[in-house]
Structure 1
């Protein structure tokens, strides 16, 4: 067992302390009983880069309907849109470290003629507050800490949860009631400083884990990388902040990372768009790992890719599970989850990031469900990236029950992609991709400085001339959009790489359904066969 404390004297005290804390948790949360756990986090975050206590919000929680003395104060963290945007894509490599936007500057920077926009999101901060409950409803009270602040409007997302908010007469507090644990965004007056409520079910700490991190700040040694081997378990307790990243051994199996605490990468800046470097810095990464479990923790200010497991040379990545975890990261290239591999499961996740939410480079039988996502100026909902010759093709992929509560910039939301150089492209077929029950709440926010022509935020970018291979049975159904655009993108094939069996069923915006009275802003060509618009 590896324990992460500074001195043996300190270690002895905390071994006793962590067992007492675990026993208290067990006593407090008997099976099936009502429970509310509001963890305490360190008061001093000065050593944790890019993570702050909120100066905007205070969050109080109590059992529903309890007295005023039952309120318990939850920790509210604040992250800021403070990553440095360099000229990563400049044609001259010597210019790629030119600063386009420094930390703290938000919105749209200068637009270079002939280039894509170089903007950062207009958003200023994203705060979040973690707590746990079960067997009861809870009241949540949000207090505005700025003496001059007044709540005029409140929006709780996802909108289809229909959770009402009550503003006090003086505008200083907002009350909501939660009937169950869930992940929400509470937006007071506008969308530029959201507050995320991360309400989990209580958890029993795994004090016997190979690597146990109790409440407090833990900076992993050296370059911040903890290397994990097969059958090892990591537990990050509520109240714990771990600074660093986890690297799964190649070919490892049955590794578990879970808990209710935080994994922070804010110390390590995003340096460049270069996979050779990025493969060394994902928050959680590994090659060929299988039967891996990630559950419950929150990834904060990840350096680059957040959960990046794959096997580019074969199919050793499979049966991985990603459940009930959250991400709050501002850097570019902070992909949410790579679901490459066979029979992977993603369920009940919240992703606030600045690149693709989900990426697959091949694999069979993967399911993504119950996701709340909000993206920055980079990335898509799904990137199907055909770049590996020896992985299984994408088959039987289901993405369902997704609420996209925001997107600060995007060209299209669903993309098929391969290498830009034709000679490097891999020919791979795909079969049975289904996207269903998706609510898109906002694609082009009113007043967003990133509403430039490139960020059209259309639905589709599937073109098999750029990513060759036949596609069979592609389905998009039960999708609610915020609005219709004149151009919602394209799904096109070639004679050598046709698309057979395209279904667009019950896709709506307002009162208008795709296909009704001939309405269709999606472009096809003659190599797309068996199109059904219903």
Structure 2
């Protein structure tokens, strides 16, 4: 009886705790002056209005639609001749890696995508109608696609083909693509939050430029709140070894003022959008990172034992960045949680240099011409091996380039290679909607978009219990890459369960077009 009474009280409490219906539009004025916010614009293509589903037309409320452009200066960063590495590349999809260093290789250039617009709003306790109006003179909506495709969100084109209307049943992150994929509009629908007006650093509506070089260092226990309606120009550096720092809100963090200079970790470590070393119990929630200079959320661990970065939570944030090397999230460390994130970037979505017991879930990702889905960057001796990693419920709605989706990177110099095993890694419920977009100028031989580039000869230690479950691939490529081991560093236990490519269930290595060698054992294909 006591158990039943407790359950009844819990049910009543949960019903009473349901939030009242709410629709919140951030207070960005329609005449917001963005002239001093580099590489961020008001959209010239789209106007967006929202209202509670079924409410009269008088209830439409206008949101602010931001536009970002593919305007970063692509230089010949990888040219074997250092004197040529600052050459601006024209056409954009040609770089200098053709020659004696890597014969015949055409490395990645810029994506063909022209713009990426986005609009933020929040709601809960109701369905919301979204109306998108085309602004360009003579513009006409011929077709519309809403991604992720498996959400099955229908959009209606008006009779005059000037507007598109769709209904959201819940807060989520979507890409609305009208007349093709080159000018997407992202809908960033969040749940409403409670402003932290007592935060150590509170940024209310308006434009805020962090002083000096734009870097604000945060100490342990400090809180940053970026309100809806706010744009903060700069970056946040978490103090080395810091703990219990929070960055959250519904506003924007913009890095467009600071250009991407070079592919050089010694410089890149100084300018990530959010960076740190050895931080723990850090929380990032709700904000949108725009035009980041380089790495976006990059918490490293250079402590002697590699156990200083742990229990960090990254939830419900968004990124829209065009520069090369704009990695999405570094998930290095132990016991980290990444959930409900949208990434539009131009490098790897996820990077780990080591760590245990991390979970990545509920993401929508679209990558540019650089990078991979997952980079295992096993080059540091101090960090823990990758163990008990789960990546699940991810929709890759696009990938404009890249050699492979899953890449194990090690030291080229044998004397510098640490011995690091990798074990108990699970990728589950992942949809690769499009790996090689038809008509993409970056569909070069180098940008093969194959599934695997894993070779333990460069990362001694071996791999065990690598699992792929409920994976959907847009197509089966003639070459899906390789998983290779060595006698000293074998790969043991690779499971493919319900993996489909182009609608076909893969039942064997021969069907999968994945190459292995004698040092790879225990490969299984399950329905």
TM-score range normalised by the length of the shorter chain: over 0.9
Specify which of 17, 41, 45 is matched with residue 52 of structure 1: 41
Specify which of 204, 223, 233 is matched with residue 233 of structure 1: 223
Q: Does 1:382 align with 2:369?
A: no
Match of 1:74?
A: 63
| Aligned-pair CA distance for 1:250 | 0.3
Specify which of 7, 15, 19 is matched with residue 32 of structure 1: 19
Match of 1:447?
A: 439
CA distance in 2, matches of 1:128, 1:476: 32
Q: Does 1:274 align with 2:264?
A: yes
Deviations 1:317-349 (A, max 9, x none): 000000000000000000000000000000000
| Aligned-pair CA distance for 1:421 | 2.0
Contact preservation (8 Å) 1:109, 1:120: no
Secondary structure, counterpart of 2:89 in structure 1: strand
Secondary structure, counterpart of 2:512 in structure 1: coil
CA distance in 1, matches of 2:65, 2:92: 22
Specify which of 41, 51, 67 is matched with residue 28 of structure 2: 41
Match of 2:329?
A: 337
Match of 1:298?
A: 288
Q: Does 1:203 align with 2:197?
A: no
CA distance in 1, matches of 2:89, 2:254: 25
Contact preservation (8 Å) 2:226, 2:248: yes
Match of 1:17?
A: none
Match of 2:362?
A: 370
| Aligned-pair CA distance for 1:427 | 1.3
| Aligned-pair CA distance for 1:135 | 0.2
Secondary structure, counterpart of 1:364 in structure 2: strand
Deviations 1:297-320 (A, max 9, x none): 000000000000011232100000
Q: Does 1:479 align with 2:471?
A: yes
Specify which of 116, 137, 144 is matched with residue 126 of structure 1: 116
CA distance in 2, matches of 1:252, 1:342: 15
Secondary structure, counterpart of 2:119 in structure 1: strand
Match of 1:192?
A: 182
Q: Does 1:99 align with 2:88?
A: yes
Match of 1:20?
A: none
CA distance in 2, matches of 1:469, 1:247: 33
Q: Please, which runs of 5 or more residues in structure 1 have no aligned partner?
A: 1-29
Q: Does 1:175 align with 2:162?
A: no
Specify which of 435, 438, 442 is matched with residue 430 of structure 2: 438
Deviations 1:56-92 (A, max 9, x none): 0000000001111100000000000000011111112
Alignment length (residue pairs): 502
CA distance in 2, matches of 1:264, 1:194: 20
CA distance in 2, matches of 1:484, 1:261: 40
| Aligned-pair CA distance for 1:509 | 2.0
Q: Write out the 4+ residue segments of structure 1 that deviate beyond 6 Å after TM superposition.
A: none
468-477 vs 209-218, greater mean Cα deviation:
468-477
Superposed counterparts of 1:126-525, under 5 Å: 126-313=116-303, 314-515=306-507, 518-525=510-517
TM-score under structure 1 length normalisation: 0.92
